Structure 1
């Protein structure tokens, strides 16, 4: 019997992909090793070897509007932690606000009211095509800093919106200054408003696409059962649209977290602002940048992991 033909290694469909991946991985390792080596040599020549001992030195500056107690005598790591908490604060609030507003606008695109549909479309096209930085500047300088103060402040039951901030929980005017159980600064308000309004425009398109993916027969069947449009959305359309909406929300949530670094435009003290002050005082550019990169990377990975879990849960529910 003739011996079976031996396949040359360069035609082996199982071996070739592993070889390509191995070569690509080796090239990446070589490039990374070159860059790291070059960085170490440059730092050594400049007398700036990587060091983290400076994190224990007194910061020498204050962090405004922080949930963590902080003063200038506390170390740098505590200041960076306070900035991180401020970033997480605006990110979490922004995710909730943008999701609610974006869902409402996305659903409004299917309203039977022609004016409401057009307004929703105008909102999406207008907000998406204006840079976020300009919108933040607008909300901070044009809107929030133009609010009246003292007795002329906007007063609602249990809420006062003044130039000095948003006061909640039985606000009182004492000697011309508003006081309340909870105070949100105009810097935080402008940043949160800008992020919510901007991200909601993109989420609205995600929601609109998800709702549009539901077969029209589902709408017709719900009407034949006597369900109202709101009941149809809640019980039939949105549960089916979630499997299309959730993956799109993941990227928008990550974008919001990264866009929060523009807080410097509103004067809000977030992680980036604290890191910039730390870099100017210590001169530790590489270490500070690594902290920033690692922090935002962890935040984005946590959001991605959470949304992937939600996506898996939604897909299982649809089976």
Structure 2
């Protein structure tokens, strides 16, 4: 009996017998890990607070509601010198999100085009894509920003002169004077028509997919969607204009003046230079990701599509790319995150992004580095987590479903 009690792992063998249970040990280790992380975090906070007190520096986020006292040349929301640092934060945040979002769209478009061109049977097209990729991805991004801003955009005409881009506006060294959108009283109706067209397109797309899976018949989703998204708002524009005797949406074009163009919506050269540098640089990496994803698809899939009578364009769009997306999306997410974080290099050319105006100018004025850096770090963390969550959802939606 004494021998049986001495055996490990038996019930009633003593207080240490529970440690032989893997679940109990796992729970204990997790509790110890949480205690260690909390203790380490508390030590950092306590040590930082003590150092700040020793140097006579206060800590608190009430400083964010003080008046900033400086001007920002590009603010997409209302901003004045008397605005608070909270307003500065939102100005920088919106500028960062705008350049990142447009940069992601442009980089994706260019990357897919160059990646597919890299696999072209045309020798000139394939080599041109190869040269583009090898040159742009091996030149530092900061240097490319300088090239676009100081070497390309500085060659544009002076302020009193401008390149006439026709319906796209005017372009000179001071920036791009794009057409400015003027909203009329019937704009909400036109916007509702646009939303209706988009929602209807998604519904038709889902119906067409189920119909194709059931019957094998295809439906022209692309042309139907374009008709709904474009034609419906145009019809509503004419209808609202006739009923309300005024256009719900109009454009104001810039005109040349003695001291430069007047009117329109000015897009500053700092934004243009940063956008082009981020887009073309990131597109070189996306192109290689797209090429790898296409090569990952078995060649038999292409041969099977050709045997069914599909043309190369349809084969690429309907067979190859959908299967390649499961390989493309995970590394593509990393490139989207890199582009967003690389936008912080805007401080080099004075583009008023979050790092430049909030973690830069505002921090230097107040001297409250801990608060401003914490807010900036938390903001980029949230942006990255939201981007990753969206891309993970998209990745799961394009994953192959086993039958």
TM bucket normalised to smaller: over 0.9
Of 3-12 and 39-48, the range deviating more from structure 2: 3-12
- For 2:8, the equivalent position in structure 1 comes to 6
Mapped contact 1:168–1:180 kept (Cα < 8 A): no
Structure 2 gaps of 5+ residues are 10-16, 180-252
* TM-score scaled by length of structure 1: 0.92
Higher relative contact order (CA 8 A, sep 6+): 2
1:162 pairs with 2:172: yes
Secondary structure in 1 matching 2:67: coil
Instruction: Report the TM-score, using the length of structure 2 for normalisation.
Output: 0.74
Alignment correspondent of 1:134: 143
Deviation, structure 1 residue 143: 0.6
- Worse-superposed segment, 14-23 or 217-226: 14-23
Larger radius of gyration: 2
Q: 1:256 aligns with which of 339, 358, 365?
A: 339
The equivalent of 2:46 in structure 1 is 37
Query: Which ranges in structure 1 are unaligned for 5 or more consecutive residues?
Result: none
| Corresponding residue for residue 349 of structure 2 | 266
**Counterparts of 1:235-246 in structure 2 under 5 Å?**
235-246=318-329
**Distance change (3 Å), C-alpha of 1:157 and 1:228:** farther
| Cα distance in 1 for residues equivalent to 2:259 and 2:50 | 60
Please give the per-residue CA displacement for 1:46-71, whole angstroms capped at 9, x wherever unaligned: 22232122222111001111111111
Corresponding position of 2:269: 186
Structure 2 Cα separation of the partners of residues 227 and 156 of structure 1: 40
How far apart are 1:72 and its partner, in Å?
0.3
2:323–2:400 Cα contact (<8 Å) kept:
no
CA distance in structure 1 between the partners assigned to 2:121 and 2:333 by the alignment: 29
Cα deviation 1:233-284 (Å, max 9, x = unaligned) = 1111111111111111111111111001000122211111112111111111
* Inter-partner Cα distance in structure 2 for 1:97 and 1:180: 27
Q: Are the aligned partners of 1:150 and 1:173 in contact in 2 as well (CA < 8 Å)?
A: no
Matched, 1:307 2:391: yes
Is residue 2:299 matched to residue 1:216? Answer: yes
User: 2:68–2:82: 8 Å Cα contact kept in structure 1?
Assistant: yes
What is aligned with 1:84? 93
Asked if the contact 2:160/2:257 (under 8 Å) is kept, the reply is: no
Contact in 1 for aligned 2:177/2:266 (Cα 8 Å): yes
- In 1, the alpha carbon distance for the partners of 2:163 and 2:308 equals 46
Aligned length: 319
Tell me what 1:229 maps to.
312
The answer to whether the aligner puts 1:199 opposite 2:304 as a matched pair is no
Write the distance in 2 (CA, Å) between the matches of 1:281 and 1:84. Answer: 19
Partner of 1:66: 75
